[in-house]
A and B are shown apart, each in its own frame.
Chain A
Amino acid sequence: MNKNASPNTPQRRLRRGWRRGMITAASAAALGISAIPGAYAADPIRIGVIAENSAISGVAITNGAMMAADEINAAGGINGRKVEIIDYDDHNSATDAVRAFQRAATQDHVAAVVGSYMSEVALALEPWAARLRVPFITPGAASNEITRHVKEDYARNKYTFHGYLTSTAIADANCDFSHDVLVEKLGMKTTVLLSEDAAWTKPLDEESRKCLPKAGLQILDAMRVSPDTTDFTPIFNKIEGERPDVITTGISHVGVQPTVQWHSEQVPVPMSGISSQATTTTFWRDTNGATEGVIAQVVAAPDVAITPKTVPYAAAYFKRFGVSPAYTGYTADDDVHIIAEAVGRAGSDDADKIVAEMEKTDYVGTVGRIEFYGQDSEFPHAIKTGKDFVSGLMIQWQDGKQVTVWPEKIANGTLHFPPFIKLPQQHASAQ
């Protein structure tokens, strides 16, 4: 994967979409000025970003990557090399994503690719990372399959890294929260799983079935709904009939409907668990406040100092884009830093050297301290999880704000539910 020796051409950065075009044009102009007589003689480190730009979690990948590149470049680059982001819109289609990946590798000569929050898309890119030998990291997909492929054929699939929690890790964190708060504090005993039918929820449900009963929540039923479902009334009616204390959600692509209908029909059971869209600050606006009381797992929150980088990063992101970062906005920023530093340590764009250096990553990012599990672990190339690494936290929507409710040591509020919710111990809501 040798780069061609041509100097940086700002024109190639002008990609489709005038809005993004304006931003890139502006930064290209800035780059042009600084590139006068040999300030940066070396070629830039090109990093491809493949994401769906019309989805909140997708565009946050592109935005987060640009934030990281600008930060690195403002500090002088890596060994004098600037970081250049080349972004591709995959329209949430695996076919488009694969085409973009091929183009990134063969035409645009990227050093590595950051791509997609959809497990289905990330899984489609993984064999191409192997075939074209381009390091690839997904900042938002969750399926366990991604690292399983690395485990099964390391020599071939070692180019893929999993920059977000695996479904198993997500389920485990949710179980810990369920035990600490829902069971211990609110006295809940039963739950119903409500998951969308997608690649990432299969290992999620599998792990939840194991860890939720251990956490103290008996699973009364598990429902898997099509991501195309528009009317959740029958589903909520069925769940309500089973009288669980809480609904454990595993939803990401299904949209606002479950949240909106849960609120408008005043389903008296709280919703808690994984709800990717509820992690973005626009979700309140998108649901007209129906998300009040919803509990969701996030990797970082704009006002919680998980590391010294989290709060300033979220503030800078908000200033630039007018919204807080979706979860992928944090991880994509970290991933670009990790790649750039690995390229710097490797001292070349050689894929195998970059992979070797990425494996040695010890980087304090916006979501925690990031290291990757080794070849012999259960999830090779997944980010390490746990107290000292990335643990995730739980937020609850209260009056238009995301209040962090778990883990206790960084929580800035306690659970508070809308009036239509009936808790097992009614007094608990007032705590």
Chain B
Amino acid sequence: MLALQIMVDGFAISTLYALGAIGFSLIFGVSGVLNLSHGGIMVAAAVAAWFIAGPLGAGQYLGALGGVGIGVVVALVTYGVVVRPIQRSRAIPHDETEIFVLTGTLLWGIMIQEAIAYFFSDSPITVRPLISGVVDIAGVRTPANEILTAVICWISIVLLWLLVNRTAVGKRLLAASINPRGLTLLGFELSSVYLMVWVIYGVLAAIAGVLLATFLGTSSNNIGVLTASAFSIVVLGGLGSVSGSLIAAYIIGYLETATAYLLTPTLRTIPSLLLLVLVVYVRPQGLLGRR
């Protein structure tokens, strides 16, 4: 009974972690950017979904769609206003670009956090679930929305896989991650590839943000934690490896859930952080890392 409970609960949360982290990993793989405003984009999407669905009275479906839309916009602004100018700047030495991108996105994340706190307060809110009611899975009372969340996440992940592996656009993304110079020599515009990957990233992060907020609620105060959790999943899975992130998300999701059930909810994140430290010692490239 308890085992089943952990299976069911852990699955939903792990899948959400996976979706959140995959985009983060993808963008690092393709363009070498570690986006530390990741949590900010997720929360911006969630707050927009809440605001459109609730106070604006558009209902939960339009709210969720609008939230994803705003998430993509914020992701593109992040790219256009923060990341791209730093990458193109002549004033910044080439080998320091990554540090500047890291700092820039970190500060941008804080700006998003402060802006949300200013306009919407930092009180936690919750996005209206897409469907209500509970389903009984062999005695485990599971909210129907939790099941839907897992389904949507997996559809998104499968679509992403198809996009990357079965379409021309996806092949360009892969090529950019393996050898950007080669891609430019073949006559492809690298900037349009980057733009594409930021759009995909925006969609993934926004969906994860909105769904997480229907499940656990959201607040501008969560931004740091969300970024950190995506970061640790990606490090565990191996920087830039999408399938590594997927596996790592399930490991961390289940480790957390099992801790919460078997030990105490207060210690929830501790074992996964210990695991992370261990991985950094023993296998610094992560589970499926290639660098």
Contact = CB atoms under 8 A, between A and B. Distances in A.
Most chain B beta carbons < 10 A, residue from A17, A226, A237, A282: A237
A256 B257 CA distance: 20
A286 B265 contact: no
B81 to A, nearest CB: 22
A412 interface: no
Q: How large is the interface on B (under 10, 10 to 19, 20 to 34, 35 or more residues)?
A: 20 to 34
Contacts of A233: 9, 260
A277 B129 CA distance: 21
B145 A264 contact: yes
B121 A54 contact: yes
Interface residues of A, number: 31
A257 interface: yes
B265 A231 contact: yes
Given A230-B216, A235-B265, A255-B217, A265 B134 contact: yes
A77 B73 CA distance: 51
Interface in A269-307: 277, 282, 285-288, 290
Interface of B is mostly: mixed
A285 B55 contact: yes
A290 B268 CA distance: 25
A245 to B, nearest CB: 19
Contact of A225 (B9, B13, B53, B265): B265
B62 interface: no
A79 interface: no
B170 interface: no
B124 to A, nearest CB: 3
Interface in A221-245: 225-226, 229-235, 237
B54 interface: yes
Nearest to A283: B123
Contacts of A231: 9, 13, 216, 257, 260, 265, 268
A191 B269 CA distance: 29
B179 interface: no
Contacts, number: 87
B122 interface: yes
Contact of B118 (A54, A285, A290): A54
Interface in B113-148: 117-118, 121-129, 132, 134, 141-143, 145
Contacts of A54: 117-118, 121-123, 220
B266 A229 contact: yes
Contacts of B123: 54-56, 255-256, 277, 282, 286
Nearest to B114: A54
B188 interface: no
Interface in B90-128: 117-118, 121-128
B219 interface: yes
B5 interface: yes
Contacts of B127: 288
Interface string A44-63: 00000000001110010000
B161 interface: no
Contacts of A286: 123-126
Nearest to A259: B126
Nearest to A92: B122
A255 B134 contact: no
A93 B260 CA distance: 29
B269 to A, nearest CB: 9
Interface of B: 5, 9, 13, 53-55, 117-118, 121-129, 132, 134, 141-143, 145, 216-217, 219-220, 222, 257, 260-261, 265-266, 268
29 contacts: A54-B118, A54-B121, A55-B123, A197-B266, A225-B265, A229-B265, A229-B266, A229-B268, A230-B216, A230-B217, A231-B257, A231-B260, A231-B268, A235-B265, A237-B261, A255-B123, A255-B217, A255-B219, A256-B124, A257-B124, A257-B126, A257-B216, A260-B126, A264-B129, A266-B143, A287-B126, A288-B53, A288-B54, A288-B129
Top 10 A-B pairs, shortest CB-CB distance: A255-B124, A234-B260, A54-B117, A288-B128, A264-B143, A256-B124, A260-B126, A226-B266, A54-B122, A286-B125
Given A55-B121, A230-B217, A257-B126, 18 more contacts: A54-B220, A55-B123, A59-B121, A229-B268, A231-B13, A231-B257, A231-B265, A255-B124, A255-B217, A255-B219, A256-B217, A264-B129, A264-B134, A266-B134, A282-B123, A288-B53, A288-B126, A288-B127
